[in-house]
Amino acid sequence: MSTKQTTGAHTAAHKTTAGKTTSSHKGKEADSRLEEFFHDELKDIYWAENHLVKTLPKMVKAASGEELKNAFTEHLAVTKEHVTRLEKVFGLLGHKAEAKKCEAMEGITKEGESIIDDTEDGTATRDAGLIMAGQKVEHYEIATYGALARVAKTLGHKDVAKILESTLAEEKQADDSLTELAESTVNEQAAEE
């Protein structure tokens, strides 16, 4: 085949749909696979957020410092809002909100429980461990919401992407707040125990 024929065949094998070029041999099939994957990942983070609604009160109870207790209490309220937002996202996509067990979040929260078991009640060391556990949760959520927002944009779900980006910003803020708390007081207090 000549270069001209190859280019012609290559161009003919692509379709333009709503400003997006897709390969005809993948076309809608590729979009539907990505859409299916996207919905599956939404179910995953929906489970994770609901799990955190149950886990955060345990972290509040285990923390000794008032600032840390307050940070976890405030984040519990924010997490409940994240659950509500995800339910809105499912609705915008024409789906019922459904959870699928998130193995990653389950593992991270189990690790947090072991920190509680392995540290002495009422110590700054436990609080430092709880901050670390909380930040592991935040980093997982930051990665997940960032990736979901990008996929939502790719799929043309701009309203959904904005919602996911709002949650992403709040997860980043929670992580920053925990860092500030660790650096300003908790880690130094733990080092002196």
117-147 pLDDT tens trace: 999 999 999 999 999 999 999 999 999 999 9
Q: Answer whether 0.95 is exceeded by the pTM.
A: no
Q: What is the pLDDT of residue 120?
A: 95
Cα dist from 37 to 11, 19, 32, 171, whole Å: 28, 22, 8, 22
In contact, 123 and 112? CB cutoff 8 Å: no
Q: What is the pLDDT of residue 32?
A: 84
Q: How many residues does the chain have?
A: 193
Cα dist from 83 to 56, 90, 123, 140, 189, whole Å: 14, 11, 32, 16, 35
Q: What is the pLDDT of residue 28?
A: 43
Amino acid at 162: K
Q: Is 16 helix (H, G, I), strand (E, B) or coil?
A: strand
Q: What is the pLDDT of residue 31?
A: 56
The whole-angstrom separation of Cα 73 and Cα 59 is 9
Q: What are phi and psi of 98, to 5 degrees?
A: -140, 140
Place of tokens 């809105």: 88
pLDDT in tens, the chain (193 residues): 444 444 444 333 333 344 443 333 334 444 589 999 999 999 999 999 999 999 999 999 999 999 999 999 999 999 999 999 999 999 999 999 999 999 999 999 999 999 999 999 999 999 999 999 999 999 999 999 999 999 999 999 999 999 999 999 999 999 999 999 999 999 999 999 9
